[in-house]
Amino acid sequence: MSIALILPEGFQEENFLAWGMKIAASRDVALVVFDLKSSKKTSVTEVDWQAGDSQVGDSPTELTQVLREQHASAPSKPAECRLIQICGSLNSDEVLAEIQKCSPSFLVLPRHRGSKSTSADFTLQRDLFLSSACTTLQLCLGAGEPLHCKRILVPTRGSRNTAEALRLATDLAEASEGQVEALYLQEDVDESAALVGKRMIEQLVRRYADDEESRVATRSVVCDDVIAGIKKEANERSDVLVLGASYHSVVHRFLFSSITEKVVSSDILPTVIIIRPAAPWRSRIVAASRRMVSDIVPQLDRESRVDLVERVHRSSRWDVDFIALICLSTLIAGLGLLQNSAAVVIGAMLVAPLMTPLLGAGLALVQGNRLLAQCSAGAVVRGFLVALGIGALLGLVMGPEAPTTEMLARCSPGVADLVIAFASGLAAAYASGRPNLYAALPGVAIAAALVPPIATAGILLAVGRTELAFGAGLLFLTNIIAIVLGAACSLWAVGIRSDHAHSLMSSWAPRALLALGIMMAGLGVYESSSPVTLTGEFKKAVTKRIEQASTSKLLDMNLTRSSDGQELQLLIAAAAQADQSLLDDLAAIASEEFNRPTGIRIETRLTQSVGAQSSEAIEANPSEEKLEMRTQPLSR
Same domain? For 225 and 269 the reply is: yes
What local confidence, expressed as pLDDT, does residue 73 receive? 82
Q: Give dist(CA 29, CA 285) in Å, integer.
A: 27
Question: In the predicted model, what is the mean pLDDT of residues 540-565?
Answer: 78
* CA proximity to 305, closest of 491, 131, 123, 441: 491
Same domain? For 454 and 335 the reply is: yes
> Please, where are the H alpha helices in 56-146?
62-73, 92-100, 123-131
Highest mean pLDDT pick, 6-15, 282-291, 605-614? 6-15
Q: Which helix (H) or strand (E) holds 617?
A: strand 617-619
Same domain? For 455 and 469 the reply is: yes
Same domain? For 370 and 418 the reply is: yes
Q: What is the 3-state secondary structure (H, E, C) of 326-388?
A: HHHHHHHHHHHHHCCCHHHHHHHHHHCCCHHHHHHHHHHHHHCCHHHHHHHHHHHHHHHHHHH
Question: In the predicted model, what is the mean pLDDT of residues 246-256?
Answer: 43
Domain-located, residue 443: yes
Interacting residues of 126 by C-beta distance below 8 A, sequence separation 6+ = 117, 255, 256, 501
Taking a C-beta distance cutoff of 8 angstroms, is the pair 485, 359 a contact? no
Same domain? For 367 and 437 the reply is: yes
Same domain? For 286 and 314 the reply is: no
pLDDT per position as a tens digit, 467-485: 889 989 999 999 999 999 9
Domain-located, residue 558: yes
Boundary of a domain, candidates 485, 504, 527:
527
Same domain? For 123 and 235 the reply is: no
Domain-located, residue 139: no
Same domain? For 348 and 209 the reply is: no
Q: Give dist(CA 351, CA 349) in Å, integer.
A: 6
Q: Is 606's pLDDT higher than 50?
A: yes
Number of domains in the chain: 4
Interacting residues of 255 by C-beta distance below 8 A, sequence separation 6+ = 117, 126, 129, 138, 245, 274, 276
Domain-located, residue 635: no
The dihedrals phi and psi of 246, each to the nearest 5 degrees, come to: -100, 180
Same domain? For 97 and 124 the reply is: yes
Determine the residue type at 32.
V
Q: Is 63's pLDDT higher than 70?
A: yes
358 lies in which domain range? 298-527
Q: Give dist(CA 307, CA 227) in Å, integer.
A: 42
Question: In the predicted model, what is the mean pLDDT of residues 213-239?
Answer: 79
CATH classification of the domain holding 3 = 3.40.50.620
What local confidence, expressed as pLDDT, does residue 25 receive? 87
Q: Which residue has the higher pLDDT, 78 or 253?
A: 78
Same domain? For 232 and 288 the reply is: no
- Please list the residues that pair with 627 across neighbouring strands: 604
Domain-located, residue 343: yes
Q: Give dist(CA 522, CA 517) in Å, integer.
A: 9
What local confidence, expressed as pLDDT, does residue 378 receive? 93
pLDDT per position as a tens digit, 319-378: 899 999 999 999 999 999 999 898 999 999 988 899 999 999 999 998 888 888 999 999
Q: Which residue has the higher pLDDT, 87 or 624?
A: 87
Domain-located, residue 471: yes
Same domain? For 291 and 309 the reply is: no
Place 101 in a pLDDT band, splitting at 50, 70 and 90.
confident
Pairing of strands 59-60, 55-56: antiparallel
Strand, helix or coil for residue 559: strand
> Please, where are the H alpha helices in 438-573?
441-447, 451-462, 466-493, 508-527, 536-546
Domain-located, residue 320: yes
Strand, helix or coil for residue 133: coil
pTM of full prediction above 0.75 = no
Q: Give dist(CA 542, CA 539) in Å, integer.
A: 5
Same domain? For 510 and 418 the reply is: yes
Give CA angle at 277 (276, 278), nearest 5°: 125
Determine the residue type at 20.
G
Mean pLDDT over each residue of the chain, to the nearest integer: 79
The dihedrals phi and psi of 354, each to the nearest 5 degrees, come to: -75, -20
Place 145 in a pLDDT band, splitting at 50, 70 and 90.
low
What local confidence, expressed as pLDDT, does residue 12 receive? 61
* CA proximity to 130, closest of 87, 179, 171, 93: 93
What local confidence, expressed as pLDDT, does residue 478 receive? 93
* CA proximity to 421, closest of 447, 439, 388: 447
Q: Which residue has the higher pLDDT, 215 or 276?
A: 276
**Other CB atoms within 10 Å distance of the CB of residue 190:** 9
